Structures are given as structure tokens and as C-alpha cells.
A and B are shown apart, each in its own frame.
Chain A
Amino acid sequence: MTTSSSGQGVSLGMPELPAPDYPDDVRARLEQDAREIIARYPDSRSALLPLLHLVQSEEGYVTRTGMRFCADVLGLTTAEVTAVATFYTMYRRRPSGDYQVGVCTNTLCAVMGGDAIFEALQEHLGVGNGETTDDGKVTVEHIECNAACDYAPVVMVNWEFFDNQTPASVKRLVDDLRAGRPVTPTRGAPLCTFKETARILAGFPDEREGATEAGGSAGPASLMGLRLAKGEAAPARVVHPRDGGPDDGGPHGRPRDAAVHLSSHDAPQETSASDPSHPQGPVGEEGEG
């Protein structure tokens, strides 16, 4: 489904009811995970960030139920948990796709082609920033610098690196994802779903055979200085590994419309309380961090 930010009325009447609980079996399983997470820290509250990753791995986004669960196991109020969950951008606040495709549009990647990629991708999929394709597979968003500037322009899918991308390579990438074809990052393991990724972020190791090995020791740009120091000739400039020309009829050749700002990311975001079964959001929620 395509999620949209509209259609969420503001309720001025009854305060909303507490979020529903997880089913017993789910709760029991999550409680066991939570105990393991809490045991890593001298103070239980430190477990809140990994716990939010954990509840995200259960439902694909941070629901009111998930936040209530975090509050219960840590002895916090739901308000305290909500304050934290809304501060960090990796916590989704509404249902989203299996694959989160993030295009870096911070200055260096934007200049090197990130803006053109982001524009082409939205046009190709017919969705805007933060929106999901109808089949529920791909959520598109622009992201900030992801510490891979020597591989610009960079695209992250479920937080695995796709280096040296072009509009054509990214279009093919999302087509492959939607068709269920296997996709391998340039640095990182074969893609798993967003939920499975969230579980790794909660601190549970990726048990898949070969996941840690995938991607080799270092990418080509990381080795540039080492190769020179060893007297090996400077390799030719690395070309985007997913191949393909810069674009095929995409819009990047035309002068940029200066009035359009691709990075209008200080717009207000959805609240965390976007549980479809409890559509009314909290009144006066915290702004973005």
C-alpha cells in the first residue's frame, strides 16, 4: 500500500486508550529477548534503543504496542519511551516496505549524482520521500551522510552499502527487489528484510552462513592508498559495480529547477502513534530531533 501522511485526523475528544498488548506468545518471546538485551548494561534504561530496534523487528515499525512493551519491561512511562522513539530517524513510525532504499543527498553525494538518483527513483516508482510502493516492497527515502563518501553517490538498502550508484543502476536495483530477484550489496551481506535487519541492530548476531564474510575485506576505494604505498599503480577509477550507463532518458540532463528543494527534510513528520488500528495521534507530540 502507499502510505500517505494525510488522512490522519486530529482527535480533540477522548484521550486515546492504552495500546493493545502483544499476543501472549509474542510477548513471552520478546520478553526473553529483552532480558538478554537488558543484561548487557549496568543500567536497564540503556537497553531502550536496542529494545526499540527489537520491537521494530517484530512489526516492521515502532507501534504504540511496541513502545508500551518497552516501557513495561524497563519501568518507564510510555511518554518517556515515545520521547526517545521520536528522536531517532531509524525508528519508523508507520508501516513501511520490506526494503528501505535510502539515497544519500547530503552535499557530496548530492553533487556527485545523489539528487539525480533520488529524483529518478521517485519518478520510476511513483512514490515520494518516505512513501512505499503498492506491493509493500520498497520504501524510498533520502538519507544523510552514511560515512562512505569515497564511494559517492551512495545508496543504502536496509543499511547495506550500494556504492558508486547511478540512476540506471538504482532503477534496476529496485526492480530486482520488487521482482524478488536476489540482490547483493557492494559491501555487506545479501539483503534480508527490514525486520530481520532490525533484529541485528538490536544486537542479535546475523546467523546466516557467510553473512559476516560477504563483501570481502575492504572495498576498492578503501584500498586506494594501500595499493599506492605498496608501489602498485593507481587503479583506474572504479566504475559503479551494478554497471549501466548514467541514465536512460532520465531527467538529470536538464537544468535543475532551483525552486524545488529535494532535501526539504525539516518538514514535520508523522507521529509515532500511527498504529492503523489507533489512528489518533497524541496531542502535542515532540518535534523531530
Chain B
Amino acid sequence: MTLAPEIDESSPEKLLVPVLSAFWDEDRSWTLDVYRRHEGYEGLRKALAMSPDDVIAYVKDSGLRGRGGAGFPTGMKWQFIPQGDGKPHYLVVNADESEPGTCKDIPLLFANPHSLIEGIVIACYAIRSSHAFIYLRGEVVPVLRRLHSAVREAYAAGYLGENILGSGLDLDITVHAGAGAYICGEETALLDSLEGRRGQPRLRPPFPAVAGLYACPTVVNNVESIASVPAILKNGKDWFRSMGSEKSPGFTLYSLSGHVANPGQYEAPLGITLRQLLDMSGGMRPGHRLKFWTPGGSSTPMFTDEHLDVPLDYEGVGAAGSMLGTKALQCFDETTCVVRAVTRWTEFYAHESCGKCTPCREGTYWMVQLMRDLEAGKGAMSDLDKLYDIADNVNGKSFCALGDGSAQPIFSSLKYFREEYEQHITGRGCPFDPAKSTAWADRKEVSA
């Protein structure tokens, strides 16, 4: 079904479709036993009965698009791998979830790691790979434990190793823990990091599909993209296409956070709106209203309460001037200073810029200086144009999208909240009280 705003069936049972999250509330949901009880590894059996090329075509026909931010069709990525080239092929799963606001892959891997492992086996069968890597950010040790455990279980059950389920497919998975660098979520920086180097992006072309890990054909996919594949094989591409829209089919995890009554993971067909999600989940925290929000992490231009009815799919968010990104819906209410929020994000980008490209390395540094002055009430009106100009000189000028991402909060906040910047300048300081924004601000009387 396509969810249009006029649908009045606004009950969560109608609007949400837990697939990946369907049994997270069960005891020991991360184990192979529980996964199999929910038809785990049935998608793999179907895939192994098909030819690898047919699996690629099937995933392509399903319309599955990358869930890591860019939305590139997953099946097409697989198809780009040259076959019969005599080189090893690799699958690298990007589990370096670090985009501010993004918090879907970590709970998914904590509660249901086998969905990823089954997806990996299917993908490797399709692209003819016998070695896959899971690049997990290092700062999430509980998830690392569960991945180690799930991989061990999968080997013992014959889903990994040699001649998997009698298919002739051999596959090893290496779980690799990163060491703290946001940039490694960028796929070519991730590959450099996985090769034991500083995580710095590579110039493309060549794309990873041609020269990726160890200069061999490599598919890099997000956790949620790969974990969605088994359900598509098991339930069929028509089932998948029955959700979402023509160009953005299927289900996905939306992560609601910030000043909302009930933050958390909400799995729904693509195209649901923030209004629908807030209506069903209790809205903003009592007594407050939405001021600004990100549709897909801090690198996606922010929205305001004017955008509550934007369909949260690739086209809908794009048409409204932002990006679906990682569906990280960070909601801030009227107590939040937008200049403070953007300053902190800008500091983040400056810290995480790898330093390879001059515009990003130098630009993020100068944007931080300007933002700090503005927030502290030490800025001048001309600084706003200067800030915009520097962001414009960072945006689109580097190897990877980190610099582009750093410019988006600045562009979009200047677009929607220029007056608030000006208030900081004319009022010689920040008019907001940060104590009112805290999670406990309304819980107990706090004298400001």
C-alpha cells in the first residue's frame, strides 16, 4: 500500500510493519534458535535454489535501495561486480554507524544479528564472494559480543564455512572492530581502514565494484540493506513492493529521538510521515512543540514543523530539499538553540575531517571559529554571509561527502532560522537557557 497523507487509518498496527524488529521482544532474540523459529535462513534456502545471477536480478527487481544514506539500488551494486574476472570478490558490510542521530544498525545487530549473517551469505552467493567482512565501529562492545557469537553459531550450523547447505558455496566472515573514526563510515575510507591504513577516502573512479578491498571487486553495503535481503527472498519481491512507493519500496527502520515523548525504533513502510510517527507515539514531550528536526542525521538539511507531512522516502524528502539519509529523526523542541545545535555539529565535522582534502580540513576549522563566535554573541552580521560563503566553498569540493555534510546544517539553519542567528548578534549572547532543554528539565522544579 502506498501511504498517502489522507489515509485516516492512523493506528500503529496499520502504519507500522515490524520485519527486522519483529521478535526483538523475545527472550534471547539474538540466538540462532530464536531466529530459526522465525523462519530464519529460509531466504537463504530459496536463494541457493536460484542461480547467482537470478538472485541479483531478484534483489534488483525488488527495488531495495541502500539504507546507509545514499539510497543506491542494492541489486545494481551487486550487478556491477565483474564476473569471471579471475579475481577474488569481497563483500564488506558497513557497520560503522556514526552519523549523528543514527541509531538503527546498532540495536538491529544487538537484537537480531543473524538477519545480517543470512543476508551476507545470500549476497556472497550472488556476487561470487568467499570472504565477507563486517566492519563494526569499535565503540559498541555489546554488539561485538553478539556478532562474534552469531558468527560462531552460523559456522557450527553449516551456514558458514565450506559447502554451505550442500550448495558448493564456501564462505568465511571476518568481524572487524574499528577504532573510532566517523570518516570510516564513508565506503572508500572504510576500505583503506580495513586494509590497515588511516581511514581516508579514495578518489573515484575506480569504484569499489572494480577496485575495492585489496584492489579487487568489492561490494560495500550498509547493515540494514543486507539484513533486509533475507525477508525479500523469503516473502517475495511483490510483498516487498506492496510497501512504500514505486521508487522507494519496502520497509525500513525509523529512529525517533530527542524531545519526543517516546524515542525509539519504528519499523514502517517507506513514505510514512513524521506527523504520523509522532501522532502514534505520543508526540513531542508534554507542553512543547517541534522546532526543527533532521530527516536522516546531521548531514541532511534540517526541517521545521512545516515539513511534518513530507513522505519520508527518498523522493519525498529529496523534493522537500533534504535527504532521507539514515532516517535518523532527531527532533528538537522550542527550548533548543539552533545556533548551539549547529555549532556542536560543526565542531563534530571539524574533529572528524580526515584532513586529506583542503576545503574540508580548512573550511570546517573556520566554520567552527565563526559558529563559536556567533553562539557566544561575539559575531557580526557580516559573519553570516562569511559563514555561508565558507560552507559553500566546502560543499562539493572534496573527495567524499563529509565536507558536504558539514555544510548542510549551516545552509539549512540559515535558511529557516536566520533571525535566530541575528538575535545572537544583536543581543550579544544566546537567548536560550540550556537547562530547559534537558531530558529532566520538566521532571522536577528547576530554578533557572
Which residues on A sit within 8 Å (CB–CB) of B406? Answer: none
Stretch from B189-197, B309-317, B383-391 at the A interface: B189-197
Q: Does A229 reach chain B (CB closer than 8 Å)? A: yes
B257 touches A152 (CB 8 A): yes
The answer to whether the Cβ of B348 comes within 8 Å of any Cβ in the partner chain is yes
Residues of chain B within 8 A (CB-CB) of A263 are 344, 347
A229 contacts B12, C-beta separation under 8 Å: yes
Give the docked Cα–Cα distance between A267 and B394 (Å). 21
Query: Are the C-beta atoms of B438 and A215 separated by less than 8 Å?
Result: no
With A83-B198, A108-B257 given, is the CB distance from A149 to B263 under 8 Å?
yes
Contact, CB under 8 Å: A266 / B368: yes
A235 at the interface (CB under 8 A from B): yes
Q: Residues of B contacting A178 with CB < 8 Å? A: none
Using A225-B16, A229-B18 as known contacts, say yes or no to A149 and B351 having CB atoms under 8 A apart.
no
Rounded to whole Å, the gap between the CB of A114 and the closest CB of chain B is 9
Q: Does B22 contact A (CB under 8 A)?
A: yes
A19-48 contacts to B, CB under 8 A, are 40-43, 45-48
Complex: chain B residue closest to A43, CB-CB: B214
Is B196's CB under 8 angstroms from A254's CB?
no
B24:A223 contact, CB within 8 angstroms: yes
Distance (whole angstroms) from the CB of A80 to the closest CB of chain B: 9
Instruction: Give the CA-CA distance A159 to B255 in the complex, in Å.
Output: 21
- Say yes or no for A148: interface residue by CB 8 A criterion: yes
Tell me whether B281 and A187 are in contact (CB under 8 A): no
Judge whether A107 and B214 touch: CB under 8 Å: no
- The proximity string for A residues 90-106 relative to B, scoring 1 for CB distances below 8 Å and 0 otherwise, is 11000000000000011
CB contact between A217 and one of B30, B257, B351 (< 8 Å): that residue: B30
Instruction: Bits for B161-177, please: 1 = Cβ < 8 Å to A, else 0.
Output: 00000000000001111
How distant is the Cα of A223 from the Cα of B12 in the complex, in angstroms?
A: 13
Interface centre among B88, B103, B214 (most CB of A within 10 A): B103
A77 at the interface (CB under 8 A from B): no
B71 at the interface (CB under 8 A from A): no
Which one of A87, A166, A221, A229 contacts B440 once the chains associate, using CB atoms below 8 Å? Answer: A166
B107 within 8 A of A: yes
* CA distance in complex: A52, B144 (Å): 17
User: Per-residue 0/1 for B246-283: is the Cβ within 8 Å of any A Cβ (1 yes, 0 no)?
Assistant: 00000000111111011111111000000000001110
CA distance A219 to B265 in the complex (A): 10
Known: A53-B179, A217-B24. A225 touches B141 (CB 8 A): no
B106 interfacial contact with A, CB 8 Å? yes
CB distance from B164 to the nearest CB of A (A): 19
For A110, list chain B residues within 8 Å (CB): 344
Q: B344 contacts which of A88, A106, A150, A205 (Cβ < 8 Å)?
A: A106
CA–CA, A252 and B29, complex, Å: 39
Decide if A176 is an interface residue (CB 8 Å cutoff): no
A89 at the interface (CB under 8 A from B): yes
**How would you classify the secondary structure of chain A's contact residues: helix, strand, loop or mixed?**
loop
Given the complex, which residues of B lie within 8 Å of A256, measured CB to CB?
430, 433-435
CA distance A237 to B442 in the complex (A): 13
Complex-state Cα separation, A235 to B142, whole angstroms: 25
Contact of B375 with A258 in the complex, beta carbons under 8 Å: yes
Q: In this complex, which of B88, B177, B195, B439 has the most chain A Cβ atoms within 10 angstroms of its Cβ?
A: B439
A118 to B403, CA, bound (A): 28
Q: Which residue on B lies nearest to A112, using beta carbons?
A: B439
A205 to B16, CA, bound (A): 36
Instruction: Assess the A187–B21 pair: CB atoms within 8 A.
Output: no
A82: shortest Cβ distance to chain B, in Å? 11
Taking a contact as CB atoms under 8 Å apart, the answer to whether A246 and B444 are in contact is: yes
Q: Is there an interface contact between B27 and A217, defined as CB atoms closer than 8 Å? A: yes
Complex alpha-carbon distance, A50 and B376, angstroms: 42
A218 and B438 contacting across the interface, CB-CB below 8 Å: no
| List of 4 A-B pairs having minimum Cβ-Cβ separation, nearest first | A224-B264, A225-B266, A48-B196, A246-B440
Given contacts A108-B100, A222-B24, A222-B111, 14 further A-B contacts (CB under 8 A): A40-B174, A42-B88, A46-B196, A107-B330, A145-B99, A145-B100, A146-B139, A166-B440, A212-B149, A222-B110, A230-B13, A237-B282, A256-B435, A289-B352
Chain B interface residues (CB < 8 Å from chain A) = 12-13, 16-18, 21-22, 24-30, 88, 97-103, 105-107, 110-111, 131, 137-142, 144-146, 148-149, 152, 174-183, 193-199, 214, 254-259, 261-268, 280-282, 285, 298, 328, 330, 332, 336, 340-341, 343-345, 347-348, 350-352, 354-355, 365, 368, 372, 375-377, 429-430, 433-435, 437-441, 443-444, 446-448
Cβ contacts A to B, 11 pairs, < 8 Å: A45-B196, A91-B179, A106-B345, A107-B344, A108-B332, A111-B258, A144-B182, A149-B102, A246-B443, A288-B351, A289-B354
